[in-house]
């Protein structure tokens, strides 16, 4: 194709058109910038300087001057919520929802924001209603997660279970707490007046199915231990000690670290059946393979009752030599003093004052005689399946603080 000289006429024309377009863009940008109140830029500057209080005051002024600034409303509401000023955050989002001209996407966003406001303010009923409204929107996943937290805090386990099922339909991920929701449901059924045995059985079967669905190798000992303990409790209500003993013994094999939680009940069943020595031998053998402080205490006390203080102290001496523990020493001194006929073990200095020794040790062991959450560090004297501090599940090790160090 030959070049024609007259084509050069288009070069200055194209250049002129580009220059005009650039001037138009610059003028539009300058006009938009001039239209923004100075308070907007002041607010941004305060945010960059990490002065949220002054930024909020500046943005409030912008919103008063221009009520149509939707995104600024959202930013302002989030700032209020972060500062804990829930009433002001709710008012901001309610003002958005009251606008008839608000686009659908922004309306859904505002509904989700006000649901979060209600949740943080502790207004659970209103938060539940607000999150339910956005369940079929782009905020479905965070809304269902929030509903699960609400139902969990209200101990409404059937609703929590339904919410978990909705979540699993939205995302392909395991929900480990579903096992404990079913266990809570079973426990509530057994505590009812009269106990609902059928509902408890159904809930425990569902818990077993949930454990299998998780399919996490090496994980889930806590869930299996809890299910076995609840089935043992159900057998006890049905006056079936044989089944109760079978379920408690299963904890020793499926969740050996949790033996200390069932040792006393298991020993009592062997004692009621007329085989206390067999029960003691079982627990002592388990301790040799899985040494643990609570189990040590049960074995020592029972050995003291069945065989006297000499074999009991021999066991304690060997155990504490292998696993030194001030808390263990405190426990066995307590058992000796409670027996009423305490005497110094062979080899100890004559006339040793066990009471004084125990009181000295006890001062140092009180802070160690606790379970601790591995997520938030919340400490408690009793074992919990759900941490009272952070509400996480299966975060308590079945071991005392001293054993974790």
Q: How many domains does the chain have?
A: 4
Residue 126 lies in a domain: yes
**Residues 197 and 241 reside in one and the same domain:** yes
Residue 162 lies in a domain: yes
Q: Quick one: pLDDT at residue 348?
A: 47
Check: CB of residue 398 under 8 Å from CB of residue 292. yes
Domain edge (last residue) among 212, 232, 258:
258
**Residues 235 and 192 reside in one and the same domain:** yes
Residue 236 lies in a domain: yes
pLDDT band at 281 (very low <50, low <70, confident <90, very high): very high
Comparing 25-34, 101-110, 348-357, the range with the smallest average pLDDT is 25-34
**Residues 98 and 166 reside in one and the same domain:** yes
Q: What is the SS3 assignment for 134? A: coil
Would the pLDDT of 196 be above 60?
yes
Comparing 24-38, 277-291, 344-358, the range with the smallest average pLDDT is 24-38
Q: What is the SS3 assignment for 384? A: coil
Q: Quick one: pLDDT at residue 336?
A: 67
* Sign of the dihedral through C-alpha 50, 52, 53, 58: positive
The mean pLDDT value for 137-157 works out to 94
**Residues 75 and 167 reside in one and the same domain:** yes
Show the tokens assigned to 117. 């406001």
The mean pLDDT value for 149-162 works out to 94
Q: Quick one: pLDDT at residue 21?
A: 53
Position with higher pLDDT, 250 vs 82: 250
Residue 86 lies in a domain: yes
Is 183 known to sit in a ligand binding site? no
Element of type H or E holding 192 = none
Would the pLDDT of 52 be above 70?
no
Would the pLDDT of 67 be above 70?
no
Domain edge (last residue) among 148, 172, 196:
172
**Residues 246 and 208 reside in one and the same domain:** yes
Q: What is the SS3 assignment for 373? A: strand
**Residues 135 and 72 reside in one and the same domain:** yes
pLDDT band at 347 (very low <50, low <70, confident <90, very high): very low
Q: Quick one: pLDDT at residue 13?
A: 59
Domain edge (last residue) among 258, 291, 321:
258
- Name the nearest CA neighbour of 335 among 352, 321, 354: 354
- Name the nearest CA neighbour of 377 among 357, 356, 354, 397: 397
Residues paired with 386 in a beta bridge: 393
Chain centroid, CA 390 distance in Å: 5
Check: CB of residue 317 under 8 Å from CB of residue 283. no
Tell me how far CA of residue 340 lies from CA of 82, 250, 305, 333, in angstroms. 59, 35, 12, 12
**Residues 75 and 150 reside in one and the same domain:** yes
Residue 339 lies in a domain: no
Q: Quick one: pLDDT at residue 26?
A: 42
Check: CB of residue 293 under 8 Å from CB of residue 261. no
Show the tokens assigned to 180. 């404990």
Q: Quick one: pLDDT at residue 24?
A: 46
Check: CB of residue 368 under 8 Å from CB of residue 327. yes
**Residues 206 and 156 reside in one and the same domain:** no
pLDDT band at 10 (very low <50, low <70, confident <90, very high): low
**Residues 178 and 167 reside in one and the same domain:** no
What share of the chain in percent tops pLDDT 90?
Answer: 43
Residue 26 lies in a domain: yes
Preceding amide of 204 cis, omega within 30: no
pLDDT digit string, tens, across residues 317-345: 888 888 887 777 777 777 666 665 545 55
Is 387 known to sit in a ligand binding site? yes
Would the pLDDT of 49 be above 70?
no
CB environment 258-279: b (16+ within 10 A), e (fewer):
bbbbbbebbbebbbeeeebeeb
Q: Give the domain range for residue 19.
A: 5-32
Q: Is 10 exposed, middle or buried (0-12, 13-18, 19+ CB in 10 A)?
A: exposed
- Name the nearest CA neighbour of 302 among 268, 272, 330: 268
pLDDT digit string, tens, across residues 208-258: 998 888 765 445 689 999 999 999 999 999 999 999 999 999 999 999 999
Residue 197 lies in a domain: yes
- ∠ CA 174-233-262, nearest 5°, is 80
Would the pLDDT of 350 be above 60?
no
Residue 363 lies in a domain: no
Is 390 known to sit in a ligand binding site? yes
**Residues 161 and 185 reside in one and the same domain:** no
Check: CB of residue 146 under 8 Å from CB of residue 111. no
Q: For the domain that residue 77 is a member of, what is the CATH number?
A: 1.25.40.10
pLDDT band at 30 (very low <50, low <70, confident <90, very high): very low
Q: Quick one: pLDDT at residue 326?
A: 76
**Residues 179 and 167 reside in one and the same domain:** no
The mean pLDDT value for 306-314 works out to 84
- ∠ CA 328-333-335, nearest 5°, is 95
Cα(117)–Cα(134) distance, integer angstroms = 14
**Residues 222 and 248 reside in one and the same domain:** yes
Check: CB of residue 152 under 8 Å from CB of residue 160. yes
Q: Quick one: pLDDT at residue 63?
A: 47
Position with higher pLDDT, 226 vs 20: 226
């Amino acid at each position: 194709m030959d070049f024609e000289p007259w084509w050069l006429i288009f070069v200055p024309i194209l250049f002129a058109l580009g220059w005009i377009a650039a001037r138009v863009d610059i003028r539009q940008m300058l006009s938009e910038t001039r239209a923004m109140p100075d308070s907007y830029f002041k607010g941004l500057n305060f945010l960059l300087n990490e002065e949220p209080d002054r930024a909020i005051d500046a943005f409030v002024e912008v919103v008063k001057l221009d009520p149509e600034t939707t995104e600024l409303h959202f930013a302002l509401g989030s700032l209020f919520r972060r500062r804990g000023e829930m009433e002001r955050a709710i008012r901001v989002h309610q003002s958005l929802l009251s606008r008839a001209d608000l686009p659908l996407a922004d309306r859904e966003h505002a509904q989700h924001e006000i649901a979060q406001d209600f949740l943080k303010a502790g207004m659970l009923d209103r938060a539940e209603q607000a999150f339910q409204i956005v369940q079929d929107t782009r905020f479905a996943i965070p809304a269902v997660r929030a509903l699960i937290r609400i139902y969990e805090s209200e101990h409404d386990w059937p609703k929590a279970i339904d919410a978990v099922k909705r979540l699993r339909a939205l995302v392909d991920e395991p929900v480990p707490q579903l096992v404990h929701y079913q266990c809570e449901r079973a426990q509530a059924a057994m505590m009812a007046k009269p106990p609902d045995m059928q509902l408890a059985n159904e809930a425990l079967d569902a818990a077993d199915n949930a454990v299998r669905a998780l399919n996490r190798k090496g994980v889930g000992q806590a869930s299996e231990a809890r299910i076995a303990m609840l089935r043992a409790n159900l057998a006890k209500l049905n006056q079936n000690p044989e089944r109760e003993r079978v379920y408690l013994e299963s904890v020793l094999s499926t969740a050996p670290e949790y033996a200390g939680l069932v040792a006393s009940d298991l020993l009592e069943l062997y004692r009621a059946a007329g085989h206390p020595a067999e029960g003691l031998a079982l627990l002592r053998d388990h301790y040799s393979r899985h040494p643990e402080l609570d189990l040590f205490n049960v074995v020592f006390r029972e050995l003291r009752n069945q065989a006297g203080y000499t074999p009991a102290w021999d066991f304690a001496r060997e155990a504490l030599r292998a696993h030194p523990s001030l808390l263990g020493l405190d426990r066995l001194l307590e058992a000796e003093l409670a027996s009423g006929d305490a005497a110094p073990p062979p080899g100890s200095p004559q006339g040793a004052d066990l009471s004084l020794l125990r009181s000295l040790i006890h001062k140092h062991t009180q802070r160690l005689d606790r379970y601790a959450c591995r997520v938030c560090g919340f400490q408690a004297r009793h074992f919990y399946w759900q941490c009272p501090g952070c509400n996480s599940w299966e975060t308590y090790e079945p071991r005392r603080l001293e054993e974790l160090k």
